[in-house]
Structure 1
Amino acid sequence: MSATQRPGGAMRAEDAVKDFWATRPRRPRRGRKIAGVSAGIANRYRIDPVLVRVGFVVATIYGGAGILFYLLGWLFLPEEDDEVSPAESLLGKGRSSTSSGFTILLGIVLVPVLGWFFGGSPIGTFPTWMSLVVIGGLLYLLHQSRGHLGPRPSAPQAETAMPTMPMTSAPMSMPMSMPPPMPTPPAAARADVPFTPLAGAPVDVTPPVDDRTTPPAWDPLGAAPFAWDLPEPAAPEPEEPSEPPVKKRRSRVGTMTVGLALVAAAGMAFAMGGWITPQHIVGVVLAILGLGMVAGAFVRGGRGLIALAVPLSVAGLALTVVTPGEYRGFGDLTAQPMALSQVEREYERSVGNVTVDLTQLPASSATADEVLEVKARTDIGNVEVIVPADADVVLTCETERGNASCLEASESGIESKIEDLESLGNDGPGGLRIELKVEANTGNVEVRRG
């Protein structure tokens, strides 16, 4: 249990942040894909690193917080063998294996990411803040529930060889000493018959038969045959039959999550209309799958949800940049009308660049009140419109993800929009009047004079 953790298991938000920083994950050198941020978080809280990687990808697509958090983790999470993180090492607080030059490069990359993330405004946009809140909340809940767990133990090292005693041999010139001769035990006399040899009688040298059953007092070599009888080895005990392996109970998190996602999708599809669009349905289903993967990380289940989340993320990204149900064609579109009658009201593409050159039009309209209305639009690509130098233009430029540079005004970031900008020609009021609308979902828009 962490030092700041309450007896009940919960920590205050301030204590949780301090404890997270004190026990922050360390980026491993093995098993990582880029910088080891996902692997370090998974190792610290003992969850599947694939779930963390999918979370970063989804957070990058929806709101952009994934790439921001990954760069911050790269800068402020130390590697497993380092004293401090790369950012702290740059401030002289310890040693880090990341070079100072590369750390400075990461900081430089972080600046435009922050600018793109907040969309050029001090408060950012709703999706960006939502992605920040979701990732921050998930990290807080993860640390509350699994912060007491330490990182997974590293791979065991090779066993150390047993020390051996050095062998010392005696010099060959040293004389070998022979052991003293074995003493001859005294002959055991029989107690019942005294032996008295007669003079001149032949002496029988046959040794008497020894029929005793206990070894003599002096038998260092174990020469007594009756001492060789050893007990028979005990019969091995019968092995107990091993119990069959218990099948692990499969988690139902995946099944319940898929069922809930299908019910939500079916309900929204039945009520689709108005503000409910296919993008909203995909977003809700992805949110349910994300919650299921988070729950599966705690009960070791729901890994199959990843196979559903990845293609749905791609489909959701495609739906956000391509308007469903409106096919406008693929490929680049270039138009240069020579007369007012050749000008089309709309120049559109689903995927591709759109370029409209109006510089060859006459300097004035047929009537003084006539206004030329032109719309140029693409879902994925850039839009460029060139207007005559003396034309009076009223324009609206808008792009969801990109830069807008329209005559005297410019915007950059997410949801860049320039609305109802009026610009007179070089000759002042009068002449050709153009009402222009330029749009792009993902791409840059530009309006300039020829």
Structure 2
Amino acid sequence: MSRTDVGETLREMWETRPARPRDDRQVAGVAAGIARRYDIDPVLVRVGFVVAAFSGIGAALYIAGWILLPDEPAGPADPRANRPRKWLVVALAIAAAVTMGSVFGGNGPDWILPLLVVAALLYLLHRSRGDRGQRAAEAPTVAAPMAAAGPPLVGEPTGAAGSTEPPVNPPAWDPLGAAPFAWDLPEPSPPPAEPPPRRLPVTPVTLGLALIVGSATAVIMMLGGMLTLANLAVLCGVVLAVLGAGLVVGAFLRTGRGLIPFALLLGSLTWAIVAAPVDRWEGDGYGELVAAPTTVAALQASYERGAGEIDLDLRNLDLTVPPDGNTSPVRTRISMGAGDVTVRVPSTADVTLTAQAGFGDVRFGAREDDGPDAHVQVINDLGTDGVRSGRPLVIDIDAGLADVEVRRG
């Protein structure tokens, strides 16, 4: 494929871009317009926007379509455009604000790749179905010829009082007016309507395949010793791939909408497992863990909780260099599945911190990060005195669904 072909396709995509219809709108008709242009189920397009929202660009793409796609012109007999649902507009505005915050917050690589994927999918869709969805020109309506007035038939009453005059216009069964003597006969009954075509059972078949494929994947992982909480996202991803394939097939066959709740539920669960891996919940017990060691020997190498709270007070930890001159770093690690982590360090200690949470909030002084994959990394923070003194303190915090705070003093 040459560069000229790509340019021609892009130009054609712009010139034949869809108009947003006045009916079948949920918000602004962007998904419905794209679906009608390429003759696919609008539910598939709406699901695509929802999936893109998980990558942070779905709301921005919808707003771009709202701006770039023209509104369908209204005719004198056309109904008024459906007004967008207020709660959907509010949700779209909130999602767009979050998207813009992530874009201008320095997370460029996190949204550039999904944007390129969406652009490639639209390009391939136009290449394969660009000739679909065009409005066919309406065939002109040909009026039936009028029968010429002729002499009355023998025995037919002509103009007498109480006489029955034949119809002026020919009936539908005689458009050419060849049998005016029978125009007063009743219209023949229309042929029975054909039953609607039977839709393929995409929803039950896909759910059955998802159950079979998921069970087979679980058995294979179990036999290979890989069926662990850490690999639970892989199993969910396999089942989600089957549901996604069923949605794509159902979109072209105009069926399979029953898969949408299952796909959204499993997609949200998979995203939550990836954002906050459940293997971090396998800590040492649950509940509150409070520790305040004062010597390096009393400081444990790790503090773990599956769920609960960890409060580690290191303000009185002796970090002075011992007589033997040992200046090696003092290390500790904290693991939390779900809950709160609070660490207090001496105000003058030299701190190196690596803290991350699958989903939550991570803070150290003025440094803060929140949301999915929140992390803060600090190397050789010298504290309030601004000079290197004593043994450095190295803290590694790994959390799932948690709020993490490290503060001085």
Out of 274, 284, 290, the position equivalent to 1:320 is 274
2:163 and 2:95 map into 1 onto residues whose CA distance is 87
The total of aligned residue pairs comes to: 347
Q: 2: distance between equivalents of 1:20 and 1:236? A: 55
Shift of 1:356: 4.5
Paired residue for 1:131, among 114, 127, 136? 114
Unaligned runs of 5+ in 2: 75-91, 137-154, 167-180
Q: Equivalences for 1:90-105 in 2 at 5 Å? A: none
> 1:24 maps to which residue?
17
- Residue 313 of structure 1: how far off its partner (Å): 1.1
Q: Cα–Cα, structure 1 residues 449 and 121, in superposed 2: closer, same or farther, change >3 Å?
A: same
Q: Is the 8 A contact 2:278 2:400 kept in 1?
A: no
- What does 1:137-152 align with in structure 2 at a 5 Å threshold? 137-150=120-133
The C-alpha deviation readout for 1:243-291, integer Å capped at 9, x for no partner, is 4743523225445544543444234323325598221222233233223
Instruction: After TM superposition, give the deviation of residue 390 of structure 1 in Å.
Output: 1.9
* Corresponding position of 2:99: 113
Structure 1 residue 234, shift from structure 2 partner? 9.4
The 8 Å contact of residues 45 and 143 in structure 1, kept in 2 or not, is answered as: yes
1:47 corresponding residue in structure 2: 40
More displaced 10-residue stretch of structure 1: 235-244 or 357-366: 235-244
Deviations 1:321-376 (A, max 9, x none): 33225355999968573745876655556677866443344564888648643334
Question: Which blocks of at least 5 consecutive residues in structure 1 are unaligned?
Answer: 1-10, 83-105, 154-213, 215-219
| Aligned equivalents of 1:139, 1:38: Cα separation in 2 | 13
* Matches of 2:351 and 2:68, distance apart in 1: 50
**Is the 1:357–1:385 contact (alpha carbons within 8 Å) kept by the matching residues of 2?**
yes
The percentage of aligned residue pairs carrying the same residue is: 35
The code of the aligned residue for 2:61 comes to: F
CA RMSD of aligned residues (A): 5.0
- The corresponding residue for 2:78 is none
- Deviation of 1:396 after TM superposition, in Å, equals 1.9
Is the Cα contact below 8 Å between 2:319 and 2:392 reproduced in 1? no
Q: In 1, distance between residues paired with 2:106 and 2:307?
A: 26
Which residue number corresponds to residue 220 of structure 2? 271
Query: 1:115, 1:246 → 2: CA distance?
Result: 53
Q: Distance in 1 between matches of 2:58 and 2:164?
A: 81
The alpha-carbon deviation at position 296 of structure 1 amounts to 1.9
Give, in angstroms, the shift of residue 34 of structure 1. 3.5
Please, which of 52, 55, 80 is the counterpart of residue 59 of structure 1?
A: 52
Contact 1:377-1:383 within 8 A present in 2 as well: no
Letter in 1 for 2:56: G
Q: Any idea what SS the aligned residue of 2:40 has?
A: coil
Structure 2 counterpart of 1:143, one-letter code = H
CA radius of gyration, larger in: 1
Deviation at 1:407, TM superposition (A): 6.2
SS at match of 2:278: coil
Match of 2:315 among 350, 359, 362: 359
CA distance in 2, matches of 1:265, 1:118: 39
Structure 1: distance between partners of 2:197 and 2:290: 66
Q: Matches of 1:352 and 1:68 in 2, distance apart? A: 37
Residues 54/404 of structure 1: CA separation in 2 closer, same or farther (3 Å cut): same
> How has the CA–CA distance of structure 1 residues 79 and 237 changed in structure 2, closer, same or farther, with 3 Å as cutoff?
closer
Cα deviation for residue 385 of structure 1 reads: 3.4
SS in 2 for 1:394: strand
Match of 1:434 in 2: 393
Name the counterpart of 1:251: 200
Distance in 2, Cα, partners of 1:230 & 1:254? 60
CA contact (8 A) 1:401 1:442 kept: yes
More helix by share: 2
Please give the secondary structure, in 2, of the residue aligned with 1:277.
helix
Q: Aligned partners of 1:281, 1:395: CA distance in 2, in Å?
A: 33
Select the residue among 292, 295, 312 that pairs with 2:246. 292
Correspondence for 2:255 among 276, 293, 301: 301
Deviation at 1:300, TM superposition (A): 1.3
Q: Distance in 2 between matches of 1:446 and 1:425?
A: 16
Go from structure 1 to structure 2 and tell me whether the alpha carbon gap of 1:330 and 1:301 turns closer, same or farther (over 3 Å shift).
Answer: farther
User: Structure 2: which amino acid aligns with 1:147?
Assistant: G
Q: Residue 176 of structure 2 aligns with which residue? A: none
Cα contact 1:390–1:432 (8 A) shared by 2: no
Say which SS state the counterpart of residue 236 (structure 2) adopts.
Answer: helix
| 1:74-93 equivalences in 2 (<5 Å) | 74-81=66-73
Alignment partner, residue 421 of structure 1 = 379
Q: Is the aligned partner of 1:337 residue 2:320?
A: no
Counterpart of 2:46 in 1: which secondary structure?
helix
Instruction: Please state whether the residue corresponding to 1:302 is helix, strand or coil.
Output: coil
- Asked whether the 8 Å contact 2:348–2:383 carries over to 1, the reply is yes
- C-alpha deviations, 1:168-200, integer Å up to 9, x for none? xxxxxxxxxxxxxxxxxxxxxxxxxxxxxxxxx
Amino acid at match of 1:303: R
**Secondary structure of 2:71 counterpart:** coil
